Amino acid sequence: MILIPRKRFSIEPMLTVDEAVQVLSRVVQPRKFWPNPFSDDRKEFEGGVSKEGFKFIRNIYYMNSFLPTIKGTFDWSDGVTKIRIILAGNACVLIAMIAAFAFFGYFLLSALIGIVSGLFLVSGALILGALGYLFNTFAFNVVSNSDREFLIKLFSQLQKK
């Protein structure tokens, strides 16, 4: 079982569910097949928001495989909305990264050694595969921290007003 990088946190703004949905709707636009990077109505995220929950990603116009998918739900209790948020990495990117590092390690060691020693080559591939996992997790954490900070700041600004 591969552990996909994830971050879980929650925010408790003093808002109703409807108000929280409106706040998120201000920064989330529907997905577009061919978005215009120079559009005036460009928002920070792309996806969907409803009372049942939300799912979106950062709205960027360059390649970044480590962008987290941001999912969440709204829970209303005692006059407070609790927004539960999960930032999840992409399983395909994780598998590709592990495989690339592992194959690179296997072929690099076999080229350097010249003599094929199965145990040595497999252990090298496993070690570099683990390094690929760590690289992916580190890159995911760097990218997801900005999304987490943005969402926390978005709701904390509302409470100060």
Burial (CB < 10 A; 0-12, 13-18, 19+), residue 127, is middle
The pLDDT value given to residue 74: 93
d(CA 10, CA 155): 11
pLDDT of residue 161 exceeding 60, the answer is: no
For residue 97, pLDDT beyond 80: yes
pLDDT band with cut points at 50, 70 and 90 for residue 158: low
If you ran DSSP here, which 8-state letter would residue 67 be given?
A: P
pLDDT tens digits, one per residue of 26-58: 999 888 777 666 777 778 899 999 999 999 999
The pTM of this model reads 0.82
Predicted local confidence at residue 118, as pLDDT: 66
CA-wise closest residue to 11 among 146, 150, 138, 137: 150
> Is pLDDT of 155 > 70?
yes
Residue 1, pLDDT > 60, answer no
Predicted local confidence at residue 127, as pLDDT: 85
pLDDT band at 135 (very low <50, low <70, confident <90, very high): very high
Check residue 89 and give left, alpha or beta (phi > 0: left; psi -120 to 50: alpha): beta
β strands within 2-158, DSSP E: 6-11, 28-29, 45-50, 53-58, 69-77, 80-88
CB 65 within 8 A of CB 90: yes
- CA pair distance 155, 161, nearest whole angstrom: 11
Q: What is the mean pLDDT of residues 78-100?
A: 90
